[in-house]
Amino acid sequence: MDQYEFYNQPFEFYCTASENGNSVAQACLGRNYIYGIGVKKNHRHGYYWISKSGDKFAMSLILWGLCSEYGMGVPRDLFNAINYYRRAKTFSSKIRLDLLFLNNPS
User: Is the pTM of the predicted complex or chain greater than 0.85?
Assistant: no
3-class SS shares of the chain: helix, strand, coil, % to 5: 60, 0, 40
d(CA 5, CA 83): 29
Domain locations in the chain?
A: 3-100
d(CA 92, CA 95): 6
Q: What's the pLDDT score for residue 106?
A: 39
Percent of the residues in the chain that have a pLDDT greater than 90, as a whole number? 52
d(CA 6, CA 48): 20
Task: Name the CATH architecture for the domain at 3-100.
Answer: Alpha Horseshoe (1.25)
d(CA 37, CA 15): 13
Mean pLDDT computed over every residue of the chain: 84
Q: What's the pLDDT score for residue 105?
A: 42
| Residues 40-63 pLDDT 10s | 999 999 999 999 998 888 889 999
